[in-house]
Amino acid sequence: MDFVVSEVGNEQVSPGYSLYPHQRQVLRDILHALLSPERRAIAHLPTGAGKTRIASHTACRLLNETEADGSLVIWLASTEELCEQAADELSEAWMHLGLRNVHINRYWGNHSLNLRKIPSGFLVTGLAKLRSASTSDHTLLAHLATHASAVIFDEAHQAIAQTYSFVTEQLCSTRPPLLGLTATPGRTSKLTDADFQLASMFNHTKVSIDPRGHDSPVTFLIQNKYLASPHFVPISFDSDTGMQEPESGMDYTRTDLDRLGRNTKRTRKIVKLAEDSVVRHVRTIVFCPSVESAIECNRLMQANEHSSQVITALTPTDERRAIIDTFRNDAREHMVLFNYGVLTAGFDAPRTSCVIIARPTTSLVLYSQMVGRALRGPRAGGNRTAKIMTVADTNLPGFGSVTDAFTNWEDLWKINSTTC
Nearest to 115 by CA among 127, 100, 133, 131: 133
pLDDT class of 7 with cuts at 50, 70, 90: low
Nearest to 243 by CA among 357, 392, 396: 396
* pLDDT per position as a tens digit, 366-407: 888 888 889 999 998 899 999 999 887 644 445 555 666 666
pLDDT class of 413 with cuts at 50, 70, 90: low
Q: What DSSP string describes 376-391?
A: B-GGGTS-SEEEEEEE
More confident residue, 309 or 81: 309
| 103 membership: H or E segment, kind and range | strand 103-107
255 phi-psi bin (left φ>0, alpha ψ -120 to 50, beta other): alpha
Nearest to 284 by CA among 376, 223, 351, 361: 351
Average pLDDT of the chain is 88
> What sign has the CA pseudo-torsion 350, 351, 353, 358?
negative
More confident residue, 148 or 6: 148
Domains in the chain, CATH or no CATH each:
21-207 (3.40.50.300), 228-411 (3.40.50.300)
What is the spatial distance between Cα 270 and Cα 287, in angstroms, rounded to a whole number? Answer: 10
Quick one: what percent of the chain has pLDDT higher than 90?
61
pLDDT of the residue at 186: 73
pLDDT of the residue at 394: 47
What value does the mean pLDDT take over residues 307-317?
92
* pLDDT per position as a tens digit, 332-344: 899 999 999 888 7
pLDDT class of 416 with cuts at 50, 70, 90: very low
Residue 325 has pLDDT above 80, yes or no: yes
Q: Looking at 119-128, 212-221, 241-250, 274-283, which range is the least confident one?
A: 241-250
